[in-house]
Amino acid sequence: MINIIKSQIQPLKLSQSDNQAKMHQGDIVNVLGVAGSMRKGSFSTHTLKLVLEEAKKYGSDSRVLELREVRLPIYDPSGSVSEELYRDVNGNRENVLDTVTTAIKWADAFVLASPDYHGSMSGAMKNFLDYFWEEFAGKTFGYIIASHEKGLTVADQMRTSVRQCYGWSMPYNVSINGADDFDSSGNPINSTLANRIKMLARDLVTYGTLIRRQFLQDVMTKEVSHSYASRYREYYN
Ligand SMILES: Cc1cc2nc3c(=O)[nH]c(=O)nc-3n(C[C@H](O)[C@H](O)[C@H](O)COP(=O)(O)O)c2cc1C
């Protein structure tokens, strides 16, 4: 029904050091939306695309990663996943983990969008989060939940995972109650939701830029030792 931002994980050519230089020059922040619903016509994914569209107005480069399209295998810490298990949604063999990792490294800030499944995030979202650690540190996260009950526990659980990886979280969520919140064209039917979508987009770009810039500066300034950022020097080398 709704396709505002064409699903895409474009080839990402920036290296980590390019990204650091970019942030220091005060350039635009890269926002990656991660859609955690496997359902076609998902309301959380639709709302995510509205936020990403809005974020572009504040100067971000916004892209969307739909987990239903990349189908990461269940994370195995022993790393013994067979290449054969990596297939795109059409069954073509592709190491989607490489594609997803490139997108994660490209991002300066994230929006995680999940359905409420039994008061928790979707399995697809949790599986995605399990793959990454250092990649999330010093980056800011916003949250969208499709729920009939506001999905506060869902957001809390996503926040906990992000905090565990030293990511920063926006202090509020965007919650949507399925079809009740949108008209037939996919526009929010109430101004409170419409304003909250704009607020998340604006705040994520604004605070996300500040936090990422300071984090990268602390990573690169060897004299700074009393910052959690100093632990990530090896990773960013
Ligand atoms: C397995 C399953 C569990 C669900 N559990 C809850 C729940 O605990 N609370 C709730 O409000 N909705 C629950 N729902 C409803 C979904 O959260 C709701 O349909 C949501 O819109 C789905 O998100 P999506 O449109 O992004 O796919 C559940 C749906 C499924 C399939």
Q: How confident is the chain (237 residues) per 10-residue block, as mean pLDDT?
A: 42 48 66 97 97 96 94 86 69 81 96 98 98 97 97 98 98 95 95 97 97 96 94 93
The residue whose CB lies within 8 Å of the most ligand 1 atoms, and thus the one to mutate among 44, 111, 148, 157, is 148
Q: Which atom of ligand 1 is nearest to the CA of 41?
A: 25
Residue closest via CA to ligand 1's atom 31 equals: 117
What class has domain 16-236?
alpha beta
| Ligand 1, residues at Cβ distance < 6 Å | 37, 39, 42-45, 115-119, 146-149, 178
**Whole-number pLDDT of residue 26:** 56
| Protein residue whose Cα sits closest to atom 4 of ligand 1 | 117
Can you give the pLDDT at residue 81? 67
The answer to whether 21 and 100 are in contact (CB under 8 A) is no
pLDDT number for residue 71:
84
pLDDT at 13: 39
Atom of ligand 1 nearest to the CA of 119: 8
CA distance 167 to 127: 17
Task: Give me the pLDDT at residue 3, please.
Answer: 36
What are the two backbone dihedrals, phi and then psi, of residue 176, each rounded to the nearest 5 degrees? Answer: -130, 145
Q: Residue 96's pLDDT is what? A: 84
Q: What is the pTM of this model?
A: 0.91
Report the C-alpha dihedral over residues 196, 198, 200, 202, rounded to 10 degrees: -150
Atom of ligand 1 nearest to the CA of 148: 11
Question: How far, rounded to the nearest angstrom, does the alpha carbon of residue 159 sit from its chain's CA centroid?
Answer: 12
pLDDT at 25: 54
Please list, residue by residue across 172-190, b when 16 or more beta carbons sit within 10 angstroms of its beta carbon and e when fewer do.
Answer: ebbbbbeeebbeeeeebee
